[in-house]
Chain A
Amino acid sequence: GENVEQHPSTLSVQEGDSAVIKCTYSDSASNYFPWYKQELGKRPQLIIDIRSNVGEKKDQRIAVTLNKTAKHFSLHITETQPEDSAVYFCAASISGQAGTALIFGKGTTLSVSS
Protein backbone atom coordinates (compact mmCIF):
# COMPACT_ATOMS: atom_id res chain seq x y z
CA GLY A 1 0.00 0.00 0.00
CA GLU A 2 0.89 3.65 -0.02
CA ASN A 3 3.31 4.86 2.62
CA VAL A 4 5.22 7.84 3.95
CA GLU A 5 8.81 7.51 5.15
CA GLN A 6 10.07 10.04 7.68
CA HIS A 7 13.66 10.71 8.76
CA PRO A 8 15.29 11.02 11.17
CA SER A 9 13.34 9.31 13.93
CA THR A 10 15.14 11.40 16.56
CA LEU A 11 16.89 14.74 16.27
CA SER A 12 18.78 16.66 18.93
CA VAL A 13 19.86 20.26 18.39
CA GLN A 14 21.16 23.17 20.43
CA GLU A 15 18.91 26.16 20.97
CA GLY A 16 19.30 28.55 18.06
CA ASP A 17 20.30 25.87 15.57
CA SER A 18 18.18 24.81 12.61
CA ALA A 19 16.35 21.50 12.37
CA VAL A 20 15.33 19.67 9.20
CA ILE A 21 12.97 16.71 8.95
CA LYS A 22 12.48 14.91 5.66
CA CYS A 23 9.65 12.78 4.29
CA THR A 24 9.14 10.80 1.13
CA TYR A 25 5.82 9.51 -0.17
CA SER A 26 4.84 6.82 -2.62
CA ASP A 27 1.51 7.91 -4.13
CA SER A 28 2.17 10.18 -7.09
CA ALA A 29 -1.44 11.41 -6.83
CA SER A 30 -0.86 12.89 -3.35
CA ASN A 31 -1.48 16.61 -3.44
CA TYR A 32 -1.65 17.78 0.18
CA PHE A 33 1.14 17.57 2.74
CA PRO A 34 0.54 18.73 6.31
CA TRP A 35 2.89 18.71 9.28
CA TYR A 36 1.64 18.10 12.80
CA LYS A 37 3.34 18.77 16.12
CA GLN A 38 2.56 16.67 19.18
CA GLU A 39 3.80 17.82 22.56
CA LEU A 40 4.19 15.27 25.31
CA GLY A 41 0.81 13.99 26.49
CA LYS A 42 -1.13 16.19 24.11
CA ARG A 43 -2.97 15.80 20.83
CA PRO A 44 -1.36 16.44 17.41
CA GLN A 45 -1.85 19.96 16.05
CA LEU A 46 -1.30 21.28 12.56
CA ILE A 47 1.67 23.63 12.27
CA ILE A 48 1.97 24.08 8.51
CA ASP A 49 0.78 22.50 5.30
CA ILE A 50 1.55 22.72 1.59
CA ARG A 51 -0.29 21.79 -1.57
CA SER A 52 1.22 20.27 -4.68
CA ASN A 53 0.99 23.45 -6.73
CA VAL A 54 3.37 25.22 -4.35
CA GLY A 55 7.09 24.54 -3.91
CA GLU A 56 7.69 26.29 -0.61
CA LYS A 57 5.71 27.86 2.21
CA LYS A 58 6.92 29.81 5.24
CA ASP A 59 5.36 30.80 8.54
CA GLN A 60 7.76 32.71 10.78
CA ARG A 61 10.45 30.22 11.86
CA ILE A 62 8.87 27.27 10.09
CA ALA A 63 9.06 26.43 6.39
CA VAL A 64 8.09 23.47 4.27
CA THR A 65 9.49 22.60 0.84
CA LEU A 66 8.02 20.17 -1.66
CA ASN A 67 9.65 18.39 -4.59
CA LYS A 68 6.89 16.57 -6.46
CA THR A 69 9.21 15.08 -9.02
CA ALA A 70 11.26 13.37 -6.35
CA LYS A 71 8.21 12.82 -4.13
CA HIS A 72 9.71 14.30 -1.03
CA PHE A 73 8.99 17.20 1.28
CA SER A 74 10.80 18.69 4.24
CA LEU A 75 10.14 20.72 7.37
CA HIS A 76 12.66 23.38 8.30
CA ILE A 77 12.70 25.03 11.72
CA THR A 78 15.11 27.91 12.18
CA GLU A 79 16.34 29.46 15.44
CA THR A 80 15.03 26.53 17.44
CA GLN A 81 13.77 27.09 20.97
CA PRO A 82 13.19 24.64 23.84
CA GLU A 83 9.44 24.86 23.25
CA ASP A 84 9.98 23.38 19.80
CA SER A 85 10.77 20.07 21.53
CA ALA A 86 8.02 17.65 20.47
CA VAL A 87 7.19 14.85 18.08
CA TYR A 88 6.64 16.01 14.51
CA PHE A 89 4.59 14.04 11.98
CA CYS A 90 4.46 14.54 8.25
CA ALA A 91 1.51 13.27 6.23
CA ALA A 92 0.44 12.89 2.61
CA SER A 93 -3.05 12.65 1.14
CA ILE A 94 -4.33 9.54 -0.62
CA SER A 95 -7.66 8.96 -2.32
CA GLY A 96 -10.07 6.29 -1.15
CA GLN A 97 -13.66 5.24 -1.71
CA ALA A 98 -15.01 7.59 0.96
CA GLY A 99 -12.90 10.55 -0.01
CA THR A 100 -9.33 11.48 0.80
CA ALA A 101 -7.38 10.13 3.74
CA LEU A 102 -4.02 11.03 5.27
CA ILE A 103 -1.07 8.69 5.60
CA PHE A 104 1.28 9.74 8.41
CA GLY A 105 4.97 9.17 8.81
CA LYS A 106 6.21 7.49 11.97
CA GLY A 107 7.27 10.73 13.57
CA THR A 108 10.46 12.57 14.53
CA THR A 109 11.23 13.33 18.16
CA LEU A 110 12.94 16.72 18.25
CA SER A 111 14.85 17.72 21.36
CA VAL A 112 16.12 21.27 21.69
CA SER A 113 18.58 21.82 24.50
CA SER A 114 19.39 25.23 25.94
Chain B
Amino acid sequence: EAQVTQNPRYLITVTGKKLTVTCSQNMNHEYMSWYRQDPGLGLRQIYYSMNVEVTDKGDVPEGYKVSRKEKRNFPLILESPSPNQTSLYFCASSLGTGNSYEQYFGPGTRLTVT
Protein backbone atom coordinates (compact mmCIF):
# COMPACT_ATOMS: atom_id res chain seq x y z
CA GLU B 1 0.00 0.00 0.00
CA ALA B 2 1.33 3.40 -1.03
CA GLN B 3 1.73 5.54 2.04
CA VAL B 4 3.62 8.07 4.11
CA THR B 5 4.36 6.96 7.66
CA GLN B 6 5.43 9.00 10.66
CA ASN B 7 6.71 7.94 14.05
CA PRO B 8 5.91 8.50 16.76
CA ARG B 9 2.27 9.53 16.38
CA TYR B 10 2.18 11.11 19.82
CA LEU B 11 5.03 12.41 21.93
CA ILE B 12 5.25 14.28 25.21
CA THR B 13 8.71 15.49 26.09
CA VAL B 14 10.52 18.08 28.18
CA THR B 15 12.30 21.24 27.18
CA GLY B 16 15.79 20.67 25.85
CA LYS B 17 15.60 16.93 25.27
CA LYS B 18 16.61 16.19 21.69
CA LEU B 19 14.09 14.26 19.64
CA THR B 20 13.62 12.96 16.12
CA VAL B 21 10.38 12.41 14.27
CA THR B 22 10.79 9.96 11.43
CA CYS B 23 9.06 10.13 8.06
CA SER B 24 9.16 7.46 5.40
CA GLN B 25 7.42 7.04 2.04
CA ASN B 26 7.25 3.96 -0.19
CA MET B 27 6.19 5.69 -3.42
CA ASN B 28 9.67 6.59 -4.70
CA HIS B 29 8.74 10.25 -4.43
CA GLU B 30 11.45 12.84 -4.95
CA TYR B 31 9.84 15.68 -3.02
CA MET B 32 9.34 15.56 0.75
CA SER B 33 8.31 18.25 3.19
CA TRP B 34 7.53 18.95 6.83
CA TYR B 35 4.69 21.16 8.05
CA ARG B 36 3.43 22.21 11.42
CA GLN B 37 -0.24 22.90 12.03
CA ASP B 38 -1.39 25.25 14.76
CA PRO B 39 -4.93 26.51 15.44
CA GLY B 40 -5.69 29.59 13.38
CA LEU B 41 -2.35 29.48 11.58
CA GLY B 42 -2.98 26.74 9.05
CA LEU B 43 -0.16 24.64 7.65
CA ARG B 44 3.27 26.23 7.77
CA GLN B 45 6.20 24.66 6.00
CA ILE B 46 9.30 23.94 8.06
CA TYR B 47 11.69 22.37 5.54
CA TYR B 48 11.43 20.68 2.20
CA SER B 49 13.64 18.51 0.02
CA MET B 50 13.70 18.01 -3.73
CA ASN B 51 15.92 14.93 -3.60
CA VAL B 52 18.71 13.24 -1.66
CA GLU B 53 21.01 15.81 -0.06
CA VAL B 54 18.93 18.74 -1.39
CA THR B 55 16.98 20.61 1.27
CA ASP B 56 15.75 24.17 1.82
CA LYS B 57 14.09 26.18 4.54
CA GLY B 58 10.38 26.82 4.51
CA ASP B 59 8.48 29.48 6.43
CA VAL B 60 9.34 28.44 9.98
CA PRO B 61 12.69 26.57 10.06
CA GLU B 62 14.02 27.99 13.35
CA GLY B 63 14.67 25.28 15.93
CA TYR B 64 14.45 22.42 13.44
CA LYS B 65 16.88 20.39 11.36
CA VAL B 66 16.33 17.86 8.62
CA SER B 67 18.38 15.43 6.59
CA ARG B 68 17.77 13.54 3.37
CA LYS B 69 20.34 10.78 3.13
CA GLU B 70 17.96 8.35 1.48
CA LYS B 71 15.17 9.04 -0.94
CA ARG B 72 12.49 7.40 1.19
CA ASN B 73 13.31 8.99 4.55
CA PHE B 74 13.13 12.59 5.74
CA PRO B 75 13.53 12.85 9.52
CA LEU B 76 12.74 16.02 11.46
CA ILE B 77 15.13 16.79 14.29
CA LEU B 78 14.51 19.07 17.25
CA GLU B 79 17.90 19.58 18.89
CA SER B 80 16.56 21.46 21.91
CA PRO B 81 12.75 21.46 21.93
CA SER B 82 10.91 24.37 23.50
CA PRO B 83 7.23 24.73 24.49
CA ASN B 84 6.52 26.90 21.41
CA GLN B 85 7.25 23.82 19.30
CA THR B 86 4.21 22.08 20.74
CA SER B 87 2.20 21.41 17.59
CA LEU B 88 0.80 18.88 15.14
CA TYR B 89 3.43 17.93 12.59
CA PHE B 90 2.79 16.53 9.13
CA CYS B 91 5.24 15.01 6.72
CA ALA B 92 4.28 14.99 3.03
CA SER B 93 5.71 13.67 -0.20
CA SER B 94 5.01 14.12 -3.88
CA LEU B 95 6.22 12.69 -7.15
CA GLY B 96 7.92 15.83 -8.40
CA THR B 97 8.18 19.43 -7.39
CA GLY B 98 5.56 21.01 -5.19
CA ASN B 99 4.17 22.96 -8.08
CA SER B 100 2.77 20.15 -10.13
CA TYR B 101 2.05 17.10 -8.09
CA GLU B 102 -0.30 16.11 -5.36
CA GLN B 103 1.27 16.05 -1.92
CA TYR B 104 0.47 12.96 0.13
CA PHE B 105 0.42 13.65 3.84
CA GLY B 106 1.39 11.32 6.65
CA PRO B 107 -0.97 10.72 9.59
CA GLY B 108 0.58 13.44 11.73
CA THR B 109 2.62 13.56 14.93
CA ARG B 110 1.22 15.41 17.91
CA LEU B 111 4.12 16.81 19.93
CA THR B 112 3.83 18.35 23.37
CA VAL B 113 6.87 20.03 24.92
CA THR B 114 6.56 20.84 28.63
Contact = CB atoms under 8 A, between A and B. Distances in A.
A103 B90 contact: no
Nearest to B56: A98
A96 B56 contact: yes
A31 B107 CA distance: 28
A34 B44 CA distance: 15
Nearest to A33: B99
Contacts, number: 72
Interface SS of chain B: strand
B102 interface: yes
- Chain B interface residue bracket vs A: 20 to 34
Nearest to A105: B42
- Chain A interface residue bracket vs B: 20 to 34
18 contacts: A6-B42, A32-B98, A44-B43, A46-B103, A51-B100, A96-B56, A96-B57, A98-B48, A98-B54, A98-B55, A101-B48, A101-B98, A102-B45, A102-B99, A104-B42, A104-B43, A106-B41, A107-B43
Interface of B: 31, 33, 35, 40-45, 48-50, 54-59, 90, 97-100, 102-103, 105-108
What are the 4 tightest A-B residue pairs by CB atom distance, in nearest-first order? A98-B56, A99-B50, A93-B99, A106-B42
